[in-house]
Amino acid sequence: MRVLMACPEYPPMTGGIGRYTANLTEELKKLGVHVFIVCNENGKGDFIGLSPTNQQNSDILLKIVDELEPDLIHIQFDPGLYGLQIDPKNPRNTMTYIDSFYSKCKETPIVTTFHSGFTLGQWISSATLVKKHGRTGKFGIPFRFAVRFWKYFLSYQAFKNLNIKKLRMSDHAIVFSNYLSNLLGGGQVVYHGAEPTLASKPTKKEARAYFCLPPEGRIALAIGFRTAMKGWDIITRMKIPKNWIIVTNSSKSYYNAENYDLSLPEYGHDVSSRNVIDLKRGFLNNTEFSILLYASDLLLLPYKVTAGSGVMFDGLAHGLPFIATKLKFFEEFAQKGLGSTVNRDAEEFSNGITEIDSNYSQYVNSVDSFKNKLKWNVVASQHYAIYESIIKKRKNPRVGS
């Protein structure tokens, strides 16, 4: 079985979707699948050329498909990775640089994994979460904020249709949650794979010693890209429960220009005296990431906006329950007993940590029962079954919708 996997972001480039694609690819290869990666020129794939700024993304993919003749192509899709172009004056012109590939590639089956999708409210919030809005207009509204608000309000349906149309034109669609499947109107739920990368599990004290963290007490970990969407500003207003500290570590995404400043308060030079610690280690490799998760007791996810969270799945794979903002995606997994959701309020997050602490073993037991569903061999086997079914079923050229 020969599969062409498309993802502009791929190691050694930093990025969650790239890391996901690399892990999935390695596990598929163990099942005998010949996977060929097409990515950005800075990623170590088999083919290069895909980029958010390359208007020829579709032509590049079509050319590779003609030369390679794969059994199918699997696209890891997030609009921003393929050059999202928004036209509020004529929303029908909203597009990405991969759109025409779907209509022109008729003989090779397409599988699409959707990594994002927003409600109207989240779509507008994602566009207006900027720290500096610039000059103020006539009615006291920051000018840049107002412009972006209307631009994204008018283009929402067109943006949503980018996903929906690709879902309909794919031979199979994959999503990570029922929430996203309901939002897009389809897609098979195959969980985001996640698994410790260490040969042997370190003790909590050993894991903490690696990062020079206090050996005692509980740690709530906030980790991810430095963007305002993560909602880490709430950390500076929380009354952190006794016997808990918050540890943060952030990095800058390869393609995301935003570099949000958390501006954590100083707690002195002695790390043992702090209740908030910013590691400032940047993007961690798989081993370091795994060690930091083992050093922690809880994931802190005070997101303002999200369509999904790879970090949440990674935390669950390492046995960590979570506390998150009351958003549909997180609520779906909280209902499985894997964590708790609260309103995005400093006091509610503080109380939420206390509540989880009081029922900690119950949450951990639920996580331990669930995490086997995230193992990469399980996820890869589900993908293999999808590929095999499509290849057997697909005999006639697909008619684009």
* Strand, coil or helix: 21: helix
State residue 250 phi and psi, 5-degree precision.
-130, 160
What pLDDT is recorded for position 121? Answer: 76
Specify whether the backbone of 320 is left (phi greater than 0), alpha (psi in -120 to 50) or beta.
Answer: beta
DSSP 187-199: -EE-PPP-----S
Number of Cβ within a 10 Å radius of residue 359: 12
What is the average per-residue pLDDT within 67-89?
91
Tokens 């996580």 correspond to what residue? 367
CA 45, CA 13: separation in Å to the nearest integer?
Answer: 11
CA 151, CA 91: separation in Å to the nearest integer?
Answer: 9
Per-residue pLDDT tens digits for 112-128: 999 988 877 777 776 65
CA geometry: angle 391, 394, 395, nearest 5 deg? 120
What pLDDT is recorded for position 15? Answer: 83
Helices within 170-309 (DSSP H only): 178-184, 204-210, 286-294
Residues with Cβ < 8 Å from 69, sequence gap 6 or more? 2, 108
pLDDT band at residue 296, thresholds of 50, 70 and 90? very high
Biggest CA pair distance of the chain: 68
CA 58, CA 8: separation in Å to the nearest integer?
Answer: 12
pLDDT band at residue 146, thresholds of 50, 70 and 90? low
pLDDT band at residue 148, thresholds of 50, 70 and 90? low
Instruction: Check pLDDT > 50 for residue 303.
Output: yes
Per-residue pLDDT tens digits for 91-115: 788 899 999 999 999 899 999 999 9
CA geometry: angle 364, 251, 190, nearest 5 deg? 50
What pLDDT is recorded for position 269? Answer: 42
Q: What percent of the chain has pLDDT over 70?
A: 85
Helices and strands (H and E) in the chain: how many = 13, 13
Instruction: Check pLDDT > 60 for residue 134.
Output: no
Per-residue pLDDT tens digits for 224-279: 877 778 888 888 888 999 999 999 988 776 655 555 555 665 444 444 445 888 88
Instruction: Check pLDDT > 80 for residue 297.
Output: yes
Reading the block at residue 80, the tokens are 């921003």
CA 66, CA 242: separation in Å to the nearest integer?
Answer: 62
Cα 108 to chain centroid, rounded: 27
Distances (CA, A) of 376 to 74, 78, 332: 17, 21, 21
Query: Domain boundaries in the chain?
Result: 2-193+376-393, 204-372
CA 339, CA 357: separation in Å to the nearest integer?
Answer: 11
Mean pLDDT is lowest, of 36-50, 73-87, 130-144, 301-315, for 130-144
pLDDT band at residue 67, thresholds of 50, 70 and 90? very high
Name which residue leads in pLDDT, 259 or 298. 298
Instruction: Check pLDDT > 70 for residue 129.
Output: no
Question: Is 317:341 a contact under the CB 8 Å cutoff?
Answer: no
Question: Is 24:383 a contact under the CB 8 Å cutoff?
Answer: yes
Mutual angle of helices 120-128 and 143-169, in 10-degree steps:
130
Q: What percent of the chain has pLDDT over 90?
A: 65
What pLDDT is recorded for position 401? Answer: 40
* Strand, coil or helix: 161: helix
What pLDDT is recorded for position 147? Answer: 64
Q: In CATH, what is the architecture of 2-193+376-393?
A: 3-Layer(aba) Sandwich (3.40)
pLDDT band at residue 4, thresholds of 50, 70 and 90? very high
CA 1, CA 261: separation in Å to the nearest integer?
Answer: 46
What pLDDT is recorded for position 276? Answer: 87
* Strand, coil or helix: 155: helix
CATH 3.40.50.2000 fits 204-372, yes or no: yes
What's at 98, amino acid-wise? I
Closest C-alpha among 102, 98, 112, 113 to residue 50: 98
Residues with Cβ < 8 Å from 192, sequence gap 6 or more? 20, 176, 308, 310, 313, 374, 379
Per-residue pLDDT tens digits for 20-44: 999 999 999 999 999 999 999 999 9
Q: Do domains 2-193+376-393 and 204-372 have the same CATH topology?
A: yes
Reading the block at residue 318, the tokens are 């390492």
Per-residue pLDDT tens digits for 343-391: 999 999 999 999 999 999 999 999 999 999 999 999 999 999 999 999 9
What is the average per-residue pLDDT within 132-149?
52
